[in-house]
Amino acid sequence: MPRTRNPYSAAFQEQIDDLRRTGRSAEDLARGFEPCVATIYTWIMQAERDGGKRADILSSEEPDELRRLRRENRQLRQELDVLSKAAA
């Protein structure tokens, strides 16, 4: 099943996270606003990742950087292999 686009703006997500930091629970926020509890917890975890509080999970930018570095590494290994064969 294809993923749907997030209907909530980044500003709204930040407001929910700010309210959570004031002491309101995710359950309370879900009752007062439209997102479900699981969605709010996802936003909380994402904010912690991007804020550097959770080092055990990749931030939003890191998966793209990891893909780029793996692609670059694969290309460099291929070039090294070609040069090694040419020198032999």
Q: Is residue 1 part of a domain?
A: no
Angstrom distance (rounded) from CA 47 to CA 33: 18
pLDDT at 83: 93
Are 52 and 64 in a shared domain?
no
Per-residue DSSP letter, 59: -
Are 13 and 49 in a shared domain?
yes
Q: How confident is the model at residue 80 (pLDDT cuts 50, 70, 90)?
A: very high
Are 71 and 87 in a shared domain?
yes
pLDDT at 45: 82
Say yes or no to pLDDT of 9 above 80: yes
Please tell me the pTM assigned to this model.
0.52
pLDDT in tens, 23-68: 888 898 888 888 889 988 888 888 877 766 655 666 677 788 889 9
Phi, psi of 37 (to 5 degrees): -60, -40
Are 46 and 14 in a shared domain?
yes
Range of the domain at 45: 7-57
Instruction: Tell me the angle at which helices 37-50 and 10-21 cross, rounded to the nearest 10 degrees.
Output: 90
Are 52 and 68 in a shared domain?
no
Burial class (CB in 10 A: 0-12, 13-18, 19+), 29: buried
Q: How many domains does the chain have?
A: 2
Q: Is residue 41 part of a domain?
A: yes
